[in-house]
A = this chain, B = another copy of it.
Amino acid sequence: MKHLQTLLLIEAVAQAGSIRKAAEDMNITSSALNRRIQGFEAEFGAPIFERLPRGVRLNPAGELLIQHIRAQSSDLERVRAQVADLSGIRRGRVSISCSQAIQPYFMPSKIAEYRREHPGVTFSVNVRDRDAAEMELRNYNSDLALVFEPRHLAEFDVIMSITQPVYAVMERNHPLAAKDELRLRDCLAYPHVVPPPAIGIRYLLDLAVGRMSQKLAPTIEAESFEFMRHYVQNDQAIGFQFPIGLNIGLDDRLAFKPLSVRDISPGNLSLLQMKGRTLPVASARFANQLALALADL
């Protein structure tokens, strides 16, 4: 869109950290870009970049402005989607960031279900830890985020929120697999595989272990739940996961047992959007469907 051109250039400069680099990215000369920025700052009434010897950086005013720019261009997208919607075409793109646990079973089935009704809608799914997911919302890179244990709830609107207990994952004939409910200390007696600290489930584990005035001594710290699933089949090890990330009852090689909520508090799974933002139709509808599905869990 032509009228956003200058704003997009500003964003590109903020991104690139230098006018010349951004100019190259946007296929114009640095002098033209430079003067557009100066012109904008003049009519805006305040500089928005700090000039550094090696380039430029947004100053606080610029930070405020860039936020406006992102909100604004994403809102224009929303309007266009809505216009397309009222001319009968159901299309659009839903972008969502989610925790790793959501990815293998839950999200694919929900997306498939949605696309059965709205085949024109495309999706962009990113797996992010809770901090990164929130950053995506803030940047308007994602419309939605479905994450465990979000941090800065005040900055976002919570569309839906449920809790899920932590499950232990182990080989089917592991000694602990006989019990219905496990104690955390029993699990920790075996080698255990935990995700890095940025992940929600690790946060809960650290909290719980802290309360027991023990320390977590992870045999293996691994990002990938897929890795964990396979590893526990070898070493009599214990892994941890939320039930939404498990195909309970469908895996004949692994056993999934809930941990006692006395030991470890259940994880809070929240569907978030940027505070006060009006989502594009497609995203809003998908959020709605997700909220219903979560309520049924």
Interface residues of A (CB under 8 A from B): 1-7, 39, 43-46, 60-61, 64-65, 67-68, 71-72, 75-76, 79-80, 82-84, 86-87, 276-278
Contacts and interface: CB of A to CB of B under 8 A. Distances in A.
A278 B72 CA distance: 13
A76 B43 CA distance: 12
Contacts of A75: 68, 71-72
Contact of A65 (B2, B45, B64, B79): B79
Nearest to A62: B83
- Count of chain copies: 2
CB-CB nearest 5 A-B residue pairs? A276-B276, A61-B83, A68-B79, A3-B3, A3-B6
A279 to B, nearest CB: 11
21 contacts: A1-B43, A2-B6, A2-B39, A3-B4, A3-B7, A44-B80, A44-B83, A45-B80, A45-B83, A46-B83, A46-B87, A61-B83, A61-B87, A64-B79, A64-B82, A67-B79, A68-B75, A71-B75, A72-B75, A276-B277, A276-B278
B43 A2 contact: yes
A68 B39 CA distance: 25
Given A6-B3, A43-B1, A68 B76 contact: yes
Contacts of A5: 3
A80 B61 CA distance: 8
A101 B1 CA distance: 46
Given A44-B83, A67-B79, A72-B76, 18 more contacts: A1-B43, A2-B39, A2-B43, A3-B6, A3-B7, A44-B80, A45-B80, A45-B84, A46-B83, A46-B84, A60-B86, A61-B86, A64-B82, A65-B79, A68-B75, A71-B75, A72-B72, A276-B278
